[in-house]
Amino acid sequence: MASDRKQDSWKELAMKVRKYKVNLKKMLVIALVVAFFVSALNISAFAMDGEQGTGAADSAANTELNVEPSASASAEPSASASAEPSASASAEPSASASAEPSASASAEPSAEQTKTQDVIQEEVPAAMSLLGRGGPLNRNYTVTYDSNGYFTAPSDSRTYAPGAKVTVLDGDKAAHDQSGKHTFLGWSTSKNDKIVNTSEQYRRLVASGRFYTGGETYIMGNGNVTFYAVFGSATPSPSELFYFRNDTEADAGVTVYYSKNGESLQTIGSGERIGFTKSEISGIMFFVRIDEGHTYQGISYTAGQQAEINVDIDKAPKSLGGYNFSNAIASAKAQGCFREFHYSAFWAAHQGEGGVRAFKVLTNEKPVELTSITYYANDTSGRSTGQSVVQNKAATLLGSGTFTRTGYTLAGWNTRADGKGVSYSLGGTYQVGTSAVKLYAVWQIQTYTVTFEAGEGGSLAQGMQTVFTDIKYNTPWNQAVTEPAPVPDEEYYFAGWTPSLPSAVTKTAVYTAQFAEKTEITLTANSDDSKTYNGSRQTVSGYSGVPEGLTVTGVEAQGSGTDAGTYTVAFTQKNAVVKDANGRDVTDQYKITYVTGTLAIGKAGLTITANDAYREYGKENPAFSFTQSGLKGTDTVEGVGLAVTLDCAAGAASPVGPYDIVPSGAAATKNYNVSYANGTLTITYSTALTLDAEAYSGTYDGISHGGITKAAPSVENAAITYSIDGENYSPAMPQFTNAGDYPVYVRAEAPNYNPAVARVTVAVKKADLTVTAEDMAKVYGQENPQFTVSYSGLVNGESGAVLLGTLAFDCAADTLSPVDSYAVTPGGLTSDNYEISFAEGVLTVTPKPVTVTAENKTKTAGDADPALTAVVSGLVGSDTLQYTLGRDAGEAAGTYAIRVAPGSNPNYSVKTVDAVLTITAAPADPTPAAPTPPETPTTPTAPAAPAAPGTPAASGTTGGTPPAAEDTVTVPDNQTPLAGSEDGNNGDGGSAEQEPVTIDDNQTPLAGGIGQASWALLNLLLAIATGIIMIVLLAGYFIGRKKNEAEEGEGAQLHTARGEEGEEQGKLKRKGIVRLLSIIPAVAAIIAFILTENIWNPMVWTDKWTLLMAVIAVVQVVVAVFTKKSRKDKEDEEPEGGIRAERV
């Protein structure tokens, strides 16, 4: 059962993994991205480190080469050039001897035993620090100089790496500060060292290590540095200054200690400088400690005087310059120092280079296997220090100077913090193995003696203990000591113990009771003469005279008053309690005297100001009033006894202008000094002036008229002026002639009155004028005559010349207009002064006279009549005349009249002239010829009456040759009128036809816009998107199919149990078919894009095919969604199937 449950658990886990496989994929992608980012960061960091680190490494290498002694020459000073003892007398080991002396030959510890507090750090590429490994990246820092604005500071444009040597630049040694009393001394790394006033201050500044002068060396730290100018008025002379500088390389594995005048040890770091004055130094010793991993090579003196001696520490002198250095030497040995050198000659000849003595300890590195001893202070401070020691060798333990603890003496070391382990003495030997060692400090508490004494001016109480012995460190004061009561003498008081009593005993001390004379204090009540009457009680309180640092309580002083006057400020309470700055009651130390003060209340200022008033000219003065300023509290003018009178010189007839309103009254009252301020009565212009004005109104008559017919002001003798623009007025009345509406401003003015203005409008109407076209006549065929008009309504002798515009006529008749009457309409004239109306005239067209003259004819009797003809004269243009010709009847020889019969010719007045037909006798012929019948006319008309009975009439035309008798000639209309010319032809006599114009279609219609071929970017994006979806669906299908085949073996039993193997295969086929359908939209999108777009054309966003491409893309998205849904349905079914499988 347990096995089955375990198997089911694995199946359930597998199903969950498959269900959430999308999330696992996302997590895998995120992990890969993070890994890539971290790798890229490492690569870029290593690249940057490679660029920056190469130079630093080269620089470090060069530094090591510079300090390394050459193979041929020892860094140890020679016997001739050094104060070092000769080779035969020196305790310095020879080059062939080991640097580590034997235990029998020397008590000096080996180089391996003296290394302390050595820190070994693995060098890690700078780039690794970006990922949390290694140290900080190397970077360079800047050096700047700040002269505090007193001179132009030097500038250093270089940058320096940590540990680099910086040569300090010179400042302006002639420069002074703002006071002019201090000159430039040098530079300090602290901006607080601006001014040095005494030699002691200067000494302390030099000794601090912050002070540098031009040319000195500064070792660069891990940060930018600023040198601040230092100014001073008192500095030691050069012969009194002594400096010592440690030029040892920072990585040489060397620690240098020094002791001045036998005092406690201090260190001088690499590149550090210390300074002293001649008066404070008599001897100085330097002690050298070499760390494990380095061997001592010697000491080089790089500036100034060499040391007076350079020996093994065991050979160091115990006394130097009159001071005992035994303790300093012992402390140095305890710190692991093995070498000593010193100076004791301090005068001008031994001053050194600029007062500087510089040294450099030379070492070589040696490979050793180290371990460490860690020393713990074993107190509440948590202090510890380390000592690197050589494995499997004896090490000298640190001495008494390792830790200090107030009230305790370091007695030794123990392997346990509670002191119950193995104990070791200070400076003793410890056999080191390969493991790190922990040692804990063992402390011994100290005991002290406390003594009490009385100073001058008092004594200690009789019978009280004054000496207390064997008191342990830090014992509470009240538990160990009871100080005796001080008893001051008369006029004295107890001033305290010197030194002050502590809270616990921490040292042996003598405490002296101090007594001092009482001090007199004069307390003076405050006075105040600045107050002014304010209507209420005013008070002055307080006092002065309390010395600085003291407080006085129990004392009160007060004085008060209301009315103006002087009052006394007296002390109302005199129970003084005096306390010092610490709050201690020191009343017994002082004698207090009280002095009264005064309160002076002055009169307040009261100002009476007459209020300004206004009235119009001609009216009575108003009632005057005033305003007060300065009354206090509830005071009133009447209440303080002040009567105020107001006067003004203006009367009812006074002209316009300002007049003073003068207040008057008492100059002072009990509590007020009164001042008066005039007001102003302003008499303004009267508004009583009015004006009644009337304007001219009429019709234009060509005569100038005055614009105003009436101007009646309400004030007699008021001056009347006129204006047409409302701004410029004149006494001359404006005149108007032409028609129009004109504004006129009439103004009446009188002294002391506001002007009255009336605006009226002058109205000149236009006169009525009728322009009538005169009747005219002409003969048919003539040009129209010059039309004329007559005027009715012109005034003042004016003519039509005053009218504007151009006279024009409108008439329908022209040259060929038939006989009739035609209207002639005038127009085109305008006028500003006349209202014009136009009346029509009549143009009468009369018939034109024309003459038809028949031509004489002859014939032989018996012959047919000749054609009758006539000549027509007087026709217009191409007109024809309707008429007929006929002759009198008769065939016998003789003369016959040929007569003209006019037809219908409305435009002509026809005059006819008859002719003669002469018939001559024919020769005798027995057979008479048959008469020729007349031709039948083609277009018969109503025949004219014959000229004579029995004789047919003949018709004629204007051509002169008459047609057959009774024919009528008709001129037909043009059957094909042409467009394009005024005569009905097309410009070439009517014979040519107009050629048609053919407009070809554009052979290449454009897509994507009007007038420009283009392709749509959105169509391309939609086609690409459709193809990408297809690729994703097909890839998912084939990957899923492959995975399904791989899982078929695992899931065969499960499928069999569920009986769903066939169903799963069916779902897989349907899923594949759906995914394969995505090929259709993708192919359709590609084909549609190829057929509709040409990417060589300019690009636009959309075109007319975009909708089609969008529809195809939407179809593809629907296919993808359907596929996704099928997948989700399958995943949702898996848990249910899993349950069924478990039940089986």
- Which of 517, 518, 523, 580 is CA-nearest to residue 546? 523
Phi, psi of 205 (to 5 degrees): -65, -45
- Which of 627, 647, 646 is CA-nearest to residue 637? 627
Please, what's the largest Cα pairwise distance for the chain? Answer: 227
The predicted structure's pLDDT at residue 297 = 86
Angle between helices 1061-1076 and 1017-1058 (to 10 degrees): 170
Query: Beta strands of 477-620 (E only): which ranges?
Result: 486-488, 492-498, 504-505, 509-517, 519-525, 528-532, 538-541, 543-544, 551-561, 565-579, 590-595, 597-602, 604-610, 613-616
- The pLDDT of residue 139 is above 90: no
The predicted structure's pLDDT at residue 673 = 94
Band of pLDDT at residue 502, cut at 50, 70 and 90 = very high
Q: Helices (H), strands (E): how many in the chain?
A: 10, 74
With a CB cutoff of 8 Å and minimum separation 6, the contacts of 737 are: 700, 702, 703, 704, 705, 764
The predicted structure's pLDDT at residue 1062 = 54
Q: What is the mean pLDDT of residues 746-772?
A: 94
- Return the DSSP state at 400: T
The predicted structure's pLDDT at residue 1063 = 58
Q: Is 1016 exposed, middle or buried (0-12, 13-18, 19+ CB in 10 A)?
A: buried
Give the pLDDT confidence of 96-134 residue by residue, as tens digits: 333 333 333 333 333 333 333 333 333 333 333 333 333
Where is average pLDDT lowest: 58-62, 771-775, 902-906, 1067-1071?
A: 58-62
Alpha-carbon distances of 338 from 92, 255, 266, 412, 565, rounded to whole Å: 11, 11, 16, 21, 91
C-alpha 740/C-alpha 17 separation (Å) is: 103
The predicted structure's pLDDT at residue 784 = 94
DSSP of 677-744: E-EEEEEEPBS---EEEEE-EEE--SS-EESEEEEEESSTT-EEEEESSSS--BSSPPEE-SSEEEEE
Band of pLDDT at residue 812, cut at 50, 70 and 90 = very high
- Which of 747, 746, 737, 744 is CA-nearest to residue 767? 737
pTM for this structure? Answer: 0.32
Q: What is the mean pLDDT of residues 220-229?
A: 90
What's the CATH number for 606-684? 2.60.40
How do 309-312 and 319-320 pair as beta strands? unpaired
Arch. (CATH architecture) of 369-445: Sandwich (2.60)
- The pLDDT of residue 930 is above 80: no
The predicted structure's pLDDT at residue 969 = 38
Where is average pLDDT lowest: 187-191, 762-766, 985-989?
A: 985-989
Q: What is the mean pLDDT of residues 604-615?
A: 94
Alpha-carbon distances of 518 from 434, 489, 495, 513, 587, rounded to whole Å: 74, 11, 10, 16, 10
767-845 and 847-922+944-956: same fold? yes
- The pLDDT of residue 1014 is above 60: yes
Apex 1007 CA angle, 1006 and 1013, nearest 5? 65
Higher pLDDT, 514 or 1139: 514
Alpha-carbon distances of 654 from 621, 645, 891, rounded to whole Å: 10, 22, 136
Where is average pLDDT lowest: 81-85, 175-179, 860-864?
A: 81-85
The first and second tokens of residue 687, run together, are 């508004």
Domain ranges of the chain: 1-68, 139-235, 239-367, 369-445, 447-515, 519-602, 606-684, 691-765, 767-845, 847-922+944-956, 1015-1143
Band of pLDDT at residue 176, cut at 50, 70 and 90 = confident
Band of pLDDT at residue 1068, cut at 50, 70 and 90 = low
C-alpha 493/C-alpha 721 separation (Å) is: 107
User: For 139-235, which CATH class?
Assistant: mainly beta
- Which of 545, 553, 540 is CA-nearest to residue 594? 545
Are the C-beta atoms of 128 and 134 separated by less than 8 Å? Answer: yes
Q: Which residue has the tokens 């123990």?
A: 414
The predicted structure's pLDDT at residue 962 = 40
Q: Is 978 exposed, middle or buried (0-12, 13-18, 19+ CB in 10 A)?
A: middle
Give the pLDDT confidence of 285-333 residue by residue, as tens digits: 999 999 887 889 899 888 777 888 889 999 999 999 889 999 999 999 9
The SS3 assignment for 533 reads coil
The first and second tokens of residue 421, run together, are 């382990």
The first and second tokens of residue 521, run together, are 């204090």
Arch. (CATH architecture) of 847-922+944-956: Sandwich (2.60)
- Mean model confidence pLDDT for the chain: 78
Are the C-beta atoms of 361 and 253 separated by less than 8 Å? Answer: no
Q: Omega before 923 cis (within 30°)?
A: no
How do 543-544 and 519-525 pair as beta strands? antiparallel
pLDDT above 70 covers what percent of the chain? 73
User: For 691-765, which CATH class?
Assistant: mainly beta
What's the CATH number for 767-845? 2.60.40
Q: Reading across the β-sheet that carries 519-525, which strands appear in turn? A: 543-544, 519-525, 590-595
Give the pLDDT confidence of 18-66 residue by residue, as tens digits: 544 444 445 554 555 444 444 444 434 433 444 344 333 333 333 332 3
Q: Is the dihedral of CA 405, 409, 414, 416 positive or negative?
A: negative
Give the pLDDT confidence of 526-566 residue by residue, as tens digits: 999 999 999 899 999 999 999 999 999 999 999 999 999 99
Band of pLDDT at residue 1126, cut at 50, 70 and 90 = low
Higher pLDDT, 690 or 369: 690
